[in-house]
Amino acid sequence: MLDVVPFVEFKLVDCKLPFAASRNSDAAPVADTEILQQNCQKIQCKTVEEVQVPSDYRDFLLADYTYGNTRIIVFCTETAREIICQVEDFYADGTFKSCSPPFDQLYTIHGDIGSTANHTNLMPLVYALMSNRTTESYKILFMLIKAEIPKWSPKRIKTDYERAAMKAIVDVFPCVELKGCYFHFNKAIWAKGRELSLTNTKDIKKRRLVALSAVLPLLPKTEVMNGWAYIMRHENDDSAVKKFKAYMEKQWLKDKFIPIWNAFGEKHRTTNSLESWHHKLNCTVGKKGPNLLHLLHCLYEDAAFYLVRNRQRHTETPVTKRIEKYKIKDEFIQDAQIELIHGDLTVGHFLEMLRS
């Protein structure tokens, strides 16, 4: 374990690119396509140690860390460095398709800058190229950001259930409220059910076991174990059912883990907005494993797009309107939760109402 971050080395290559925009603005640099492609061919690195960030991206670069085989390059616009200090809720996830070799993943941190019941308003604030996904690397990433932006103090961070990232978050931010993604929880439960042949059977009770377990996060955390008791009240000697029970109790029903995956009262229960962002970025990049220069250009354009949208959100109608069917589903869940709290629904009735 590293208690302190080793020396941070900045690597900038003085490579002037054919960009028309001023680097002091938050506008994305605009490059001639043919010249950009030619430059891209010149920057091909086999190891992370060889990677150098063109000086045109100096203002976009937040930190560049090199220690042994670990390399972490962090990007964040000047404006985003101010916004990140004003945001309380963050969403973090990694993508691999759009990551430039020889890096392992592109990890992004998004902030909620004013979502409502009708509109989702998440903004990518930090982009990081990482050479690996160890707990130490994630710790270094968060410590680098904190060192460069001392006022960054996240209140809540939602992520998927990658253990290395989760451990790093609580180590660096011991007071943060760490939350897991409901979609990933749901997906894992159904995957286990399929693995044990509980969902593709004529036995309705077995499928119901999985369906009820999948909506446990919608209960208040104090009612989760009561919900589990309701689900298992007719437990039998079926081997698949026993294996599913053992899986749930070992993987999800530990006292310290329940508050992390519990989604009661959450504005955004999932990180699906980040998945949508990944899809958009993949389409923009256009290919798997893009050249670093091409990826940097796409990321700068992405950052500029969201900065413009952030300026407009106070004067114009938000552009990311939530899909109607999801709004209706949320209203149904919220109504059921209110009835449960007021004693108009039992825990069992609540689960039965919401199961698939």
Quick: pLDDT tens for 264-282: 988 888 888 888 899 999 9
pLDDT digits (tens, 9 = 90+) for 278-298: 999 999 999 898 999 999 999
Residue span(s) of the chain under CATH 3.30.420.10 come to 12-181+270-312
Is residue 284 classed as helix, strand or coil in its secondary structure? helix
Q: What is the mean pLDDT of residues 43-56?
A: 84
Least confident of 5-9, 144-148, 178-182: 5-9
Q: What local confidence, expressed as pLDDT, does residue 46 receive?
A: 80
Mean pLDDT of 196-212: 95
Report the pLDDT value the prediction gives residue 235, as an integer from 0 to 100.
83
Percent of the chain at pLDDT exceeding 70:
85
Where residue 1 falls among pLDDT bands split at 50, 70, 90? very low
Asked if the model's pLDDT at residue 49 lies above 50, the reply is: yes
Q: What is the mean pLDDT of residues 314-329?
A: 71
Measured CA to CA in angstroms, residue 227 lies from 134, 204, 218, 230, 294 at distances of 35, 19, 10, 5, 50
Q: Which of 22-31, 178-187, 219-228, 281-290 shows the lowest mean pLDDT across its residues? A: 22-31
**Beta carbons within 10 angstroms of residue 38's beta carbon:** 11
Q: What is the pLDDT of residue 250?
A: 98
Is residue 33 pLDDT above 50, yes or no? Answer: no
Strand order in the sheet with 122-130: 61-67, 70-75, 122-130, 105-112, 89-95, 156-159, 177-180
Q: What pTM value is reported for the model?
A: 0.85
Q: What is the structure's pLDDT at 274?
A: 87
- Rounded to 5°, the CA angle 3-271-149 comes to 40
Q: Is pLDDT at 305 greater than 50 in this prediction?
A: yes
Mean pLDDT of 29-47: 54
Q: From residue 162, how far is each of 74, 119, 170, 267, 297 by CA, in Å?
A: 20, 28, 13, 21, 28
Asked whether the predicted pLDDT for residue 61 surpasses 70, the reply is: yes
Residue 17: per-residue pLDDT:
40
Q: pLDDT confidence of 114, banded at 50, 70, 90?
A: confident
Residue 316 or 206, more confident: 206
Query: Residue 281: is it exposed, middle or buried by C-beta count within 10 angstroms (0-12/13-18/19+)?
Result: buried
Q: Which of 77-91, 178-192, 268-282, 296-310 comes out lowest in average pLDDT?
A: 268-282
Which residue in 44, 80, 43 sits closest to 62, CA to CA? 80
The answer to which of 181-185, 299-303, 306-310 has the lowest mean pLDDT is 306-310
Indicate whether 16 pLDDT > 80.
no
Q: Which CATH superfamily is domain 12-181+270-312 in?
A: Ribonuclease H-like superfamily/Ribonuclease H (3.30.420.10)
What integer best gives the mean pLDDT of the chain?
87
Give the mean pLDDT of 96-123: 90
Q: What is the pLDDT of residue 275?
A: 87
Output the pLDDT for position 116.
75
Per mean pLDDT, which range of 5-14, 87-96, 178-187, 225-234 is the poorest?
Answer: 5-14
Statement: residue 107 has pLDDT above 80: yes
